[in-house]
């Protein structure tokens, strides 16, 4: 396994770990969002229960009394305003969480796209380097073959020279 393979696998492992971390963050945000929705429902139920109880008390105690009815109406209006205010606050919080989730999704998508592009670039670079190494290897093999051919061409000349030298020596001896 070459160093480039190890680097590619290392980057892939980091991507998987990063994706797991971002998935965990997204699920955590979803859990928080569901808790906010549950708290909103409970809060509205509590306010509605208090409102109904207060209205029942006013109906029982002060039936027919205009001053108390006016106070009850004022209380109802103030409760309605409180409900609207709290609902708006909850809506703002929900919008903020939604915005954060959308921003997180965009950032994560961009990072994943950049990482995928980096992987493609690494693969292209690796393929180019591999082709270049093959060409160099083929050139070296060709040069080696040429050198062996030249050596083989020189060897018969040396053998012929050696044979001629031996023939001269043996002729001299024969004289």
Domain ranges of the chain: 3-130
Residue 170 confidence class, pLDDT cut points 50, 70, 90: low
Q: Evaluate whether 123 touches 12 at the Cβ level (below 8 Å).
A: no
How far apart CA 131 and CA 111 sit, in angstroms, is: 30
At 22, list the tokens. 């971002």
Residue with tokens 């693969």: 123
How many residues in total does the chain contain?
175
Cβ contacts of 85-94, under 8 Å, gap ≥ 24: 86/43, 86/47, 87/44, 90/36, 90/40, 90/43, 93/36, 94/33, 94/36, 94/37
Q: Residues 29-84: pLDDT tens digits?
A: 999 999 988 888 887 777 777 777 777 666 655 555 667 778 888 999 999 999 99
């Amino acid at each position: 396994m070459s160093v480039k393979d190890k680097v590619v696998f290392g980057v892939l492992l980091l991507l998987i770990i990063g994706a797991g971390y971002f998935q965990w963050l997204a699920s955590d945000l979803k859990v928080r969002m569901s808790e906010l929705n549950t708290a909103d429902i409970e809060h509205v139920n509590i306010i509605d229960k208090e409102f109904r109880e207060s209205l029942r008390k006013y109906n029982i105690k002060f039936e027919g009394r205009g001053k108390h009815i006016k106070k009850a109406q004022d209380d109802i209006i103030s409760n309605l305003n409180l409900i609207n205010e709290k609902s708006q606050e909850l809506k703002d919080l929900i919008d903020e969480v939604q915005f954060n989730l959308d921003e997180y999704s965009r950032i994560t998508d961009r990072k994943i796209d950049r990482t995928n592009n980096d992987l493609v670039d690494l693969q292209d670079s690796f393929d180019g380097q591999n082709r270049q190494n093959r060409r160099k290897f083929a050139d070296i093999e060709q040069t080696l073959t040429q050198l062996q051919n030249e050596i083989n061409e020189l060897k018969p000349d040396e053998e012929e020279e050696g044979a001629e030298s031996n023939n001269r020596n043996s002729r001299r001896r024969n004289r």
